[in-house]
Structures are given as structure tokens and as C-alpha cells.
Amino acid sequence: MKLVKICGVKTLESAETAILNGADLIGCILVPQKSRTIDFSTAKQIAQFVKRGRPQSVAQMMSHLSQKCDSFASPVDYFEYVSKLVLDNGPFLVGVFQNQSRDEVLKIANEIGLDFIQLHGSEQKLDYTNDEFGLVPRYVVPQDTEQLKHDSEELMKRGVLSLPLLDSAQGGEGKVIDWEYISGNLNFTRAILAGGLTPENIRDTKDVKNILGFDVSGGVETDGEKDLTKIIRFIAGGKSL
């Protein structure tokens, strides 16, 4: 089964709708002064809701993973295993950051109670590995392919609870990336697919290879706000693949 991440959530209602309908990951934008930036008080409420009745915490998953990290033959095996951990133990809250300092990111993550930190800018992704939060490093393909290859190996070697994410250069603006390129050139890793996905085109990805799941933000909005019906439809579409 594929992972589904609903990103750019700004209200408890939209987060609850996503979780109750099967979303594995909820993304909150924590980059200052963006249209989808969430206020801390709401993010904390979502963090509390996300943690209710969860089988394992991120800390428990990290401990489990650290004991197994030497047993994986390749990043493909590694990220598929991490994906299964997330599927079996979610949901989890992801905070999205962009070119913010490591100290700032970890401070905010602790204050809100995040599970994963997503790095959406040009920062050096491996500099943000830590013992408290999982990592969702974003890569623009095809231009970041070599960096993705390097980081995939390194994240596996370090045993980082991580899920790479593939996006368009204009992330969050509904631009579809090259699915054929992903299928043909990224067989060295596994990643979450973002970029221009909607409830209408999600099933068109059924033949795309090398992906663990799907990430959506603008594709489940109407007039710039999260549309609960679209969220439900997108999750159903993603989980059917």
C-alpha cells in the first residue's frame, strides 16, 4: 500500500479529516510568511491529535531501525522498510522548513511536537539529521538526481528515519514532474511523489515506478483553502494504487 501525505494543512478540521480517512502524514508549513504557513497554536493541536492511539512513536521507530540498519542491501530496501514502519505506526506530523538554520528547525520541531522535519530548500539535508525527528528531504528531479543518489546511500548508512520526496522546481504550485524520468532513472532509491497531483490524476500514476506514495497540497484546495471532499477523494485514490 502507498503512503499518502496531505501537506499545507492550516486547520485542525482538515487534519482530522485527512487522518480519519487514512492519511499517513500531515504536513504543516513552518516557513515564515507563506500563504499556507500555520500558526503554532493550531500546529500544536494537530500534533496532539496525530499522536492519539499511535502504535509506536518516532523515537521507538528510530530505536528499532538503528538495530536493523546494517541488514539492508540497498537504499531501495531501506526506504521500503521505513515506508512500512510509517504505514504500520502512523499517522505522523511533518513540519516543512526552507533554508532555516538547524537550530531554528529543531527548536520549532520540539516546541510543536513534530514527528518529521521536511527540508524544502537548498540546505544541506544531511546536516539536519538528529536523534529526535525523522527526515523528509526534498529533491527536484532531474537536476538533483546525483544528490539524491548520494543522500540515499548516506541516509541508509546512518540509519536515519527518512523518506525522500520528489518535487517540481516550483513546489506547491501544481507543476507535474516527469513521471517517465522517475520510472526510468531512479531505480537506485524509493521516494514520495509530489508535484501537481490531484484527485483527478492520482490514478494516472499507477504505472510510475520507484515511488512509495504521494504528497499533495494545492491539488486538494478550492480557492486557496483545503477542500475536505478533495482530501477524502485524493486519499482514496492514493490508497487504491
Spatial CA neighbour of 228 closest among 10, 79, 64, 13: 13
Per-residue confidence (pLDDT) for residue 171, from 0 to 100: 57
Per-residue confidence (pLDDT) for residue 172, from 0 to 100: 56
Q: Say how many C-beta atoms besides its own lie within 10 A of residue 236's C-beta.
A: 15
Domain count for the chain, please give it: 1
| CA-to-CA separations, 6 to 39, 91, 230, in angstroms, rounded | 17, 11, 11
Give the residues across from 5 on adjacent strands.
25, 215
Classified as helix, coil or strand, 188 is coil
Spatial CA neighbour of 78 closest among 132, 193, 150, 158: 158
The predicted-structure confidence for 48-87, as pLDDT tens digits, reads as follows: 999 998 888 999 999 989 888 889 999 999 999 999 999 9
* CATH number assigned to the domain comprising residue 194: 3.20.20.70
Instruction: Give the range of the structural domain holding residue 208, as residue numbers without chain letter.
Output: 3-239
Per-residue confidence (pLDDT) for residue 66, from 0 to 100: 87
| pLDDT (mean) for 116-123 | 97
| pLDDT (mean) for 149-173 | 89
